[in-house]
Amino acid sequence: MNLEQAIKNLAGSRALVANEAEAVAAIKAQIQERYGEMLENAKGYLDTAKADMADDESRVRELALERYVEEGKKNKKVHPAASIRTTTTLNYNTKEAVTWCIKHRTQALDLNKREFEKVAKVMEPDCVKIGAEDRVAIATDLSKYL
């Protein structure tokens, strides 16, 4: 297959995707027109049910912790459907944590690649090799190749 044929194939694929997207949009519009109110009501019921469920889960957590404390924190299986897990939590100031990581040369820092690359293009640090790479840009409108 040569480049001309590949572009024609791509143009055909894009046209097909556009047609199918239009068809899906039309079907969605018909569904919205016919069942929109019913769908909105159902979404409302679902949102209410989710809020109620969250409240119920919160209450179960609260009561389970109360029972655990009342029983002297001896039995973590406070109910057949609820148990206590003790987890480690960390609270810290982000700026102080970054300073500590730098001071201790830890690998705990994540590199923000996007920001680093912006700065690296200007400052050209020794650890960066700046080069050029050829990439293909394909025209958006390929209709004349159909």
Residue among 88, 83, 58, 87 at smallest CA distance from 68 = 83
How far apart are alpha carbons 141 and 3 in whole angstroms?
A: 16
pLDDT at 81: 94
Is 15 part of a structural domain of the chain?
yes
pLDDT at 122: 92
Is 144 part of a structural domain of the chain?
no
For residues 25-44, give the mean pLDDT. 96
pLDDT at 72: 95
Average predicted confidence (pLDDT) for the chain: 92
Of the given ranges (94-98, 104-108, 110-114), which has the lowest mean pLDDT?
Answer: 104-108
How far apart are alpha carbons 100 and 94 in whole angstroms?
A: 10
Is 145 part of a structural domain of the chain?
no
Number of domains in the chain: 1
How far apart are alpha carbons 83 and 80 in whole angstroms?
A: 8
Residue among 6, 7, 3 at smallest CA distance from 140 = 7
pLDDT at 48: 97
Q: Are 59 and 67 in contact (CB under 8 A)?
A: no
pLDDT at 106: 73
How far apart are alpha carbons 65 and 75 in whole angstroms?
A: 11
Is residue 31 very low, low, confident or very high in pLDDT (cuts 50, 70, 90)? very high
Is 143 part of a structural domain of the chain?
no
pLDDT at 104: 82
Residues of the domain holding 108 = 3-134
